[in-house]
Structure 1
Amino acid sequence: MEEHIFNIEGLTHQFADGTFAIKDLSLTVQQGKKIALLGNNGAGKSTLFLHLNGLLQPTSGTIRYKGKKIKYDRKALLSLRKQVGIVFQDPDSQLFSANVQQDISFGPMNLGWERNVVHEKVQWAMAQTEVTELKDRPTHFLSLGQKKRVAIAGVLAMEPDVWLLDEPTAGLDPYFSRQIMALLDSIHHPDKTIILSTHDVNLAYQWADEVVVMNDGKVIYQGDPVSVFHDEAVLMRAHLEKPWVFEMFQALLQSRIPAEKNLVPRTKEELLRKIQRERIY
């Protein structure tokens, strides 16, 4: 039986001005999944992340992490944040130390690790995100893409059980976008759960085990990454387009490919292999 890492029931969050960011949201997250969180601007994705890390407290409803209701005292929140790491969409919200190496070291040092362990983890995280050459540079002198990679390195060095990444590839060039996604694949295993929010349906379609779609503070879809793009009503409500691989395969099905309609390709390479096998020219 698969363990639920998060159980969310009736989650509602109302800001001081009366605006509801999340409305009676219920969601279960299974351990070990790679989950893409999709939705239009204002859907509530970032607000949900802040609740899962304990940075926001619900107006009503409950969140359980590994079966236990999240508490909001200092000791409980420290324990939660050791296990649930978050990378913000805006890295300036996350970086505050004098230079890159100090910033990446901050989290591991607060975990109480030995200094040599902290050093080892930080060096590894910098190498994985390709920021080693920036280690002595002040964080405010970095480009947006460099700041993103340093923020990710800071969480990577802490080795959390759950990753929450808010638009991790936004602002990165194609090379570093691919590197970050490859990094997430490399750290993922049955004990690691990764949830990322993105507006990139192509990325979500190719990468995720599961897709969650939000609209107006609620979950309107949770399921596999193929079925959602057959659901025109969900796509319309969430202002989502179909991934280009999905659209291309649908077009080919209508014309030349006669078989394997249920084996929908999810990457460019899978689509090309299928075309070559069917000899579509």
Structure 2
Amino acid sequence: MNDLFFEIQNLTHRYADGTVALNNLSLKIAKGKKIALLGNNGAGKSTLFQHLNGILQPTSGQILFQNQPMKYNRKSLLALRSHVGIVFQDPDSQLFAGNVRQDISFGPINLGWPIEKVTEMVEWAMSETEVSTLQDKPIHFLSIGQKKRVAFAGVLAMDPDVFILDEPSAGLDPYYAKQILQLLNTIHELDKTIILSTHDVNFAYEWADEIIVMSGGEVIYHGDPFSIFEQEHLLLKSHLEKPWVFELAQVLKSKNVIDKIEDFPREKEQLIAFLK
């Protein structure tokens, strides 16, 4: 059990209007994984993320973080959020300080770090997300893409163990989307756990160690990034398409070029190598 960050037990969340966003959901999140969360709009992905960071409390069920039941008093939540950072899909839900540097500095300062460490981490986070030139700019003057990078920098500067990202590349142009995804790989090499939601099945298939698929507030798949795309009924239920690399790999398997699904290429370069 020591390799788990989260153990979610029979989690249900019902909003005030009666909407059941999570329905008796049970799930285990292991340390050190790159996890992609897939599902159509309204599947419950964002609600689940807000539970993992303690923003929402269960209607019923419970969440264990590092084998201890999650508590919702101020002290416990501050401790949790020093380990678990979340980047929202809408950065306006997250940004509030006067300018970029002040906003990124807010989290590290509240962790009680010495000013030298705060400055070091803020400078590093701004450099990694390429917002250093924006550091004196007021938040409300930023574009949506700039705001998303600043929100990410704010979490990055706190150096959490778990990164939770809700549609991290949405609203970014192709250059910055690719840069953020490369940064995620760099973070993972620092022994961080990353859980992100995405509608991009091609990215999820290429990047993730594990894929979780949600539908109607329930987990309908949690496993390797291959098997889900062979289960047509789950793809139909969750409105997912197959990654194009996976579809071509299926053709190669039918022609006995590839022996088994575990050998499927996961990115374009690997596929080309099979075709040479």
Superposed, 1:48-63 pairs within 5 Å as 48-63=48-63
Count matched residues. Answer: 275
Q: Which residue of 1 aligns with 2:87?
A: 87
CA distance in 2, matches of 1:41, 1:273: 36
Cα distance, 1:233 vs. partner?
A: 1.1
For 2:223, the equivalent position in structure 1 comes to 223
Provide closer, same or farther for how the CA distance between residues 259 and 205 of structure 1 changes in structure 2, counting only shifts above 3 A: closer
Could you tell me whether the CA contact under 8 Å between 1:32 and 1:190 is conserved in 2? no
SS in 2 for 1:199: coil
Q: Tell me the amino acid that sits aligned with residue 92 of structure 2.
A: D
Q: Aligned residue for 2:271?
A: 271
The answer to whether the Cα contact below 8 Å between 1:32 and 1:189 also exists between their aligned partners in 2 is no
- Give CA-to-partner distance per residue, 1:33-61, whole Å, 9 cap, x none: 00000000000000000000000000000
Could you tell me how far 1:190 is from its partner in structure 2?
7.2
Give 1:251 deviation, angstroms.
Answer: 2.7
The answer (yes or no) to whether the contact 1:229–1:235 under 8 Å persists in 2 is yes
Which secondary structure does the structure 1 equivalent of 2:9 belong to? strand
TM-score, normalised with respect to structure 2 = 0.97
For the 8 Å contact 2:201–2:242, the answer to whether it is kept is yes
Partners of 1:2 and 1:254 lie apart in 2 by: 41
Asked whether the 8 Å contact 1:31–1:190 carries over to 2, the reply is no
Query: How far apart, CA to CA, are the structure 2 residues paired with 1:18 and 1:259?
Result: 49
For each residue in 1:172-200, what CA deviation from the matched residue of structure 2 results, as whole angstroms up to 9, or x when unmatched?
11111111111010011474210000011
User: How do 1:233-244 residues align onto structure 2 when only pairs under 5 Å count?
Assistant: 233-244=233-244
CA distances 1:191-224 after superposition (whole Å, capped 9, x unpaired) = 4210000011011001000000000000000000
1:2 Cα offset (Å) = 6.3
Instruction: Please list every run of 5 or more consecutive structure 2 residues that lacks an aligned counterpart in the other structure.
Output: none
Partner of 1:66: 66
Alpha-carbon distance between aligned partners in 2 of 1:190 and 1:68, rounded to the nearest angstrom: 24
Q: Confirm or deny that 1:122 pairs with 2:143.
A: no
Check whether the contact 2:252–2:258 (CA below 8 A) recurs between aligned residues.
no
Partner of 2:257: 258
The one-letter amino acid paired with 2:60 is S
Runs of 4 or more, structure 1, over 6 Å off, are none
SS in 1 for 2:22: strand
Identify unmatched segments of 5+ residues in structure 1: 277-281
Q: Distance in 2 between the 1:243 and 1:22 partners?
A: 27
Aligned to 2:3: 3
Paired residues of 2:2 and 2:67 also in contact (CA < 8 A): no
Q: Counterpart amino acid of 1:258?
A: V
- 1:274 deviation in Å? 1.0
Query: Does the Cα contact within 8 Å between 1:221 and 1:228 map onto a contact in 2?
Result: yes
For 1:195 and 1:134, the matched residues in 2 are separated by 27
What does 1:1-281 correspond to in 2, within 5 Å? Answer: 3-189=3-189, 191-255=191-255, 258-262=257-261, 263-276=263-276
Shift of 1:96: 0.6
Paired residue type of 1:130 = E
CA contact (8 A) 2:86 2:155 kept: yes
Post-superposition Cα deviations, 1:105-149, rounded to whole Å, max 9, x if no partner, equal 000000000111101100000000011011111111111111111
- The one-letter code sitting in structure 2 at the alignment partner of 1:260 is D
Q: Structure 1 stretch 170-179 or stretch 49-58: which is displaced more?
A: 170-179
The 8 Å contact of residues 164 and 196 in structure 2, kept in 1 or not, is answered as: yes
The TM-score with structure 1 as length reference comes to 0.95
Deviations 1:60-95 (A, max 9, x none): 001000000000111000100111000000001001
